[in-house]
A = this chain, B = another copy of it.
Amino acid sequence: MAKDRYQQGLEKIKELTLSDDENPTGFMDIGEAYKDIAPDLSKYVVEFAFGDIYSRPGLDNKQKVLTTITALVAQGKPQIEMHIKTGLTVGLKPEEIVGCIMHLIPYTGFPSVLNALAAAKKVFEERGIKMADD
């Protein structure tokens, strides 16, 4: 049932944001800002993106977020900041997030990587995260 997919999507979002029933979507942007112009958007985000796709077997959560971050670096999308946060939530080490971005130099070139590192630096500073080799 659609209700199950929505519930499944919310559970997945809670895993990715470490949020709870009070505020189940946490820092995740599910498109609620647009509910007056596209009232069905947040349903698709929750049910399809998180209830269907993020809930597939095959990859674990860390792998899913690494894949997400990579796609957002390659496309230059601002959503990378939010998914650096989901990465930290699911247990990716800062070294892994930076490692993923740096690994893209031979595939996307330096400018995309520099722009993505700016997002990582901002999130790490907000959260007081220091790299292991500091």
Contact surface of A with B, Cβ cutoff 8 Å: 1-2, 5, 29, 31, 33-34, 36-41, 44-45, 48-49, 52-54, 56-59, 63-64, 66-68, 70-79, 94-96, 98-115, 117-118, 120-121, 124, 130-131, 133-134
From DSSP, what is the main secondary structure of chain A's interface residues? Answer: helix
Contact between chains at B44 and A96 (CB < 8 Å): no
Return chain B residues, CB-CB under 8 Å to A70.
Answer: 66-67, 70-71, 74
Copies in the complex: 6
A111 touches B107 (CB 8 A): yes
Residue of B nearest to A110 (CB): B106
Chain B's closest residue to A82 (CB) is B111
CB-nearest residue of chain B relative to A58?
B99
A3 closest partner in B (C-beta): B1
Residues A107 and B71 in contact in the complex (CB < 8 Å), given A58-B99, A66-B63, A102-B38:
yes
